[in-house]
Structure 1
Amino acid sequence: MTESSAAAKTQPVILVVEDEPEERFLAATLLEETGFRVIEAETAEKALAILRERGDEVNVVFSDVRTPGQIGGFELARIIGVTWPRVHVLLTSGDAGDQPSDLRMSATFIPKPWRALDILTLVEQAAGYHTGRDAR
């Protein structure tokens, strides 16, 4: 195994679930540039399909609360909590009506607009990973 493939195996994998392409691109780019591997999904249903295939690889799911389709972010968090309990969930929303009161213990709610440093810090904590950047 080469050094770069060994590094890729140790980099946490973040599944970003966001239906807005610009926001998904921003989150994915931010995380990739900081040393995470990123998988993207537009819907919670697609995220679940990815988890069924690659759930053993995914460390953190970063999802919008409001996703198109029959499953929203809160329900996605509940399903992940039961099916993949080691996967940490970070949920975000810009809608003041979305309340995190019924989230499972390992899920974290982040209101929009979020700041890049906040997301990086929370993802690092959830993944148990330190990217080595200076967190001033």
Structure 2
Amino acid sequence: MSARLAEQLPTTGNVIVIEDNPVVRMLFEETLAELGFSSATFDNAASALTHLVRIKGECILIIADQGLPGGIQGSEFIRQAKEQWPLIPSILTSGYVVDEQVIPPSTIFLHKPYTLNQLEVTIGAALQQQRPLM
């Protein structure tokens, strides 16, 4: 991540990650930790939603894979979260083509596979969306 972009981002905060692939989940944890963020990771949306309600929406970013087990897709999780906490930035990921109408408003779509640089830039862009202009 560029030094300029890093200076503009919050230096701390919790990120919720929902990804059913354990290797990709670990990649998110490591990347977020390197960027200075803590993360709560889940392999299904129901567990993540329970956590989000318990912490009363106190997170700075949601990253969700579209294809999740358990009946709640990533886009639906983001939609539900934004009904209660509309200012939480979000990133939806998928290795498949996702109809643009399925992607919730103000959510950034990141197509798999992506590079670490693409992931970092997308995280930066998502966090910038909700910050007031200086």
Scaled to the shorter chain, the TM-score interval is 0.7 to 0.9
Between the aligned partners of 1:118 and 1:10, the Cα distance in structure 2 is 19
Identity over aligned residues, as a percent?
28
- Measured against aligned partners, the alpha-carbon deviations of 1:60-116 in whole angstroms (never above 9, x if no partner) come to 1111000100211111121112111111110000013x2233323221111000111
Q: Is the 8 A contact 1:18 1:64 kept in 2?
A: yes
Q: What is the CA distance between 1:12 and its match in structure 2?
A: 2.4
Q: Deviations over 1:44-74 (max 9, x none)?
A: 1111011001144211111100010021111
Length-normalised TM-score, structure 1: 0.80
Q: Tell me which residue corresponds to 1:87.
A: 88
- 1:43 corresponding residue in structure 2: 44
Query: Normalization by structure 2: what TM-score?
Result: 0.81
Name the residue aligned to 2:67. 66
Q: Which residue of 1 aligns with 2:104?
A: 104
- Counterpart residue identity of residue 63, structure 1: A
1:31 match: secondary structure: helix
Verify the 8 A CA contact 2:89 2:126 in the aligned structure 1: yes
Please, which moves more after superposition, 101-110 or 46-55? Answer: 101-110
Which moves more between the two structures, 9-18 or 57-66? 9-18
Task: Describe the SS at the equivalent of 1:58.
Answer: coil
Mark the runs of 5 or more structure 2 residues left unpaired by the alignment: 1-9, 130-134
Q: How far 1:10 moved relative to its partner?
A: 5.3
Change over 3 Å in CA distance of 1:128–1:12 after alignment to 2: farther
Q: Please, what is the CA RMSD of the aligned residues? A: 1.9
Contact 2:92 2:103 in 1 (8 A): no
Distance 1:76 1:121 in 2: 23
Long gaps (5+) in structure 1:
1-8, 130-136
Q: How many residues align?
A: 120
